[in-house]
Structure formats: C-alpha cells, structure tokens
Amino acid sequence: MTNPIPVWTEEVLVKAFESDFAGRWKPASFFRWMTAAASHHAHNLGYGYNEMLASGMIWVLARLKIYFYRFPNIGERVTIQTWPKGIQRKLFFMRDFNILDSSGGKYAAATSAWVLIDPQNRRMLLPQALPGNLPENVGRVALEEIPEKINPPENLPEKFALQARYSMIDIVGHVNNGHYIEWISDCFLPEEYQGRRMAWLQVNYSNEIRPMERVSVRAGELNGDPMCSIVHGVNLTTSATAFEAALGWEKEA
C-alpha cells in the first residue's frame, strides 16, 4: 500500500492545446489540472473514485475560488500542491491549492469546497458518512477565505446556449467541471482579453447538468463595475440554476 502523503505535489508541462491565442495557460486548464491533482491525492489517501464508489459515495466539487497572479506560457513547467484543510459549515470538505513556477513563485492560489454525494440517488451526504479521516494540515493555508454564495441578477443577457453532449460528460454521468470554466471564459470576446487578464474567479456548482440537457449561459457586469463580471448558467431543461460565477479583471501593460 502506498504511504499516505498529507500534501500532494505534481508537475505539469504547459501544452499548446491547453493554452490560449496568447500562448498562456487557459483558466480551464488550471481547473482541470487542479481537480486531477485532487483526484490523485484522494487515491493516495485511500479515497479515490473506486474506493469511494464501493462505500456508496463520490466526491463532487461544489465551489472553487482562485486568484491568478501570473499565467504560465507554453513549454513552462507548473508545480501543483494540494492538501485537505478540514471541514467547514458542517458540510464542505475544504481543499487548497498552490500553483507554482520552477523557482517556487506563485502563478495562482486557490481554495475549494467538496461534498459527498450518493451516486445512486444523487443526494448529498453529511461528512460523517466518510469512513475514517482526511489529514487536516492545521495551519497550512493557500487562501484564508471560504467561497461564499453568488447571487446573479435576473436580467443578465444571454451570451449563448448549448446542449450537454458526448465530449462534455464525465465518468459520473454529468458535465465535467472543466467545461463550465470554458463556458465562463467564452462569455467574453477574444478582444476583451487583450490588454487585460483574469485576476480572480469563483465558480459555484449548484446543480449537475445531465446528458442532452440544454443550458443558457448569461453574463454581465458585477454591480456596474466593468472590471468585475458575473455569470449565470441556467439549465433550460430543468429550469434550475446550474452554476454561478463571479470574476475580476486586471489591466496588463
């Protein structure tokens, strides 16, 4: 059996197909590799997908907030550190991330909230259902804050609508969380990324999107601030909120 590691570290090479027109790692690439690292760490701790499924539960990402300090470019190496950080609000298993360059400088820092779900009835389970305990890593923090609720206004204009099809669906049977970040990013035209970059992003996954369901993605300014945006994903098939997101922009020289 592999020895459990309290803080997981893995290295990633930034590839062209994961980068944007400026050669920078896309926000969705951050999310995909962070969730991959979290999955690898969970497996190391004895709470991987198959082990959890055998216990009648799975991990589901509920919320994630990330601050981007710099974006790595194609060909650069990125180190991802991740660790569990205890339980918050008697519901969320917290997990933090540092995304570092080869010298230890920060590209980004993030915190996330995960919940236990029964894969049969899709209902949430309380943390006490988890057999055993995760490392708490007391005092080790990437971000102090807890991702809060996001309340988008009702009159946001629709940017586009889509249908959940084959390439979006993961092993759990719903749209993978990385696609949500692509949709959020696609709310803004390529020219809107010129001269500015995403400074922070929070996404709250409210209700899963199942195969063939249709989604309306809406976006606008947050509280009238052109440097802050809010995004609302509405499941047109079920009339439920699929996700909410808020993000900030930073001007580039």
Question: 160 is written with which tokens?
Answer: 């586009």
Tell me the pLDDT tens digit for each residue of 86-126: 999 999 999 999 999 999 999 999 999 999 999 999 999 99
- pLDDT-derived band of residue 172, with 50, 70 and 90 as boundaries? very high
Whether CATH 3.40.50.150 fits 149-253? no
Tell me the pLDDT tens digit for each residue of 201-241: 999 999 999 999 999 999 999 989 999 999 999 999 999 99
Give ranges for CATH 3.10.129.10 in the chain.
1-147, 149-253
Name residue, tokens 């009238």. Answer: 224
Tell me the pLDDT tens digit for each residue of 174-190: 999 999 999 999 999 99
Longest alpha-carbon distance in the chain: 54
Q: What is the pLDDT of residue 2?
A: 73
Q: Classify domain 1-147 at the CATH superfamily level.
A: Hotdog Thioesterase (3.10.129.10)
